Structure 1
């Protein structure tokens, strides 16, 4: 699933990403707001707000993961007791000021991705 998400994101294929998110049921959490269409939500974030969602998704999924129960979660900075090295891995992915604030607080609230062991993409959400 990770490789398929990366391929769809590199191709900027919002429809494929939405299909991957719904592949095993409508369980993908991608925002804390009202229910929206994944493709529309991310397209608006990229085109109207200038957020590099898909590029960031690819970069995050190319980092090491951590496990939380049965869920594989990227990046490792999201885990409890994340190390400075976990945060350092995010240099160039997140704005420096944002990354430094998270590092000081030892709390990661950037984009995190979760995929279950059976390949169900369950989360791609930012925020706290």
Structure 2
């Protein structure tokens, strides 16, 4: 199956955003600690979400697992967007809403990838023994 340039661009946007936040989560950057402390899930939520985002990034890049990675990324970004709207606020520590915007962009990219592969969703539910 040939993958279009558009699809690769969408994949790369999602993966670059997901991966660039890992440095801050795994290094214990002040901003990340602030966010996850405010959500009352520091340090496990910070490190756990970083691991999930790393796995989603890898899966998105592999053509056979793109759908699973996009679903994982979508769920993670839904949590981030939900947290911004209901607990953190759109602007966190004077970032101008950058983290929120990145979450929305990643959510959108993952949604597009899922839509493109929607015909494969029923296969995820089949158990092969």
**TM-score if structure 2 supplies the norm length?**
0.27
Higher strand share: 1
Higher helix share: 2
Computing the radius of gyration from Cα coordinates, the structure with the larger value is 2
**TM-score if structure 1 supplies the norm length?**
0.27
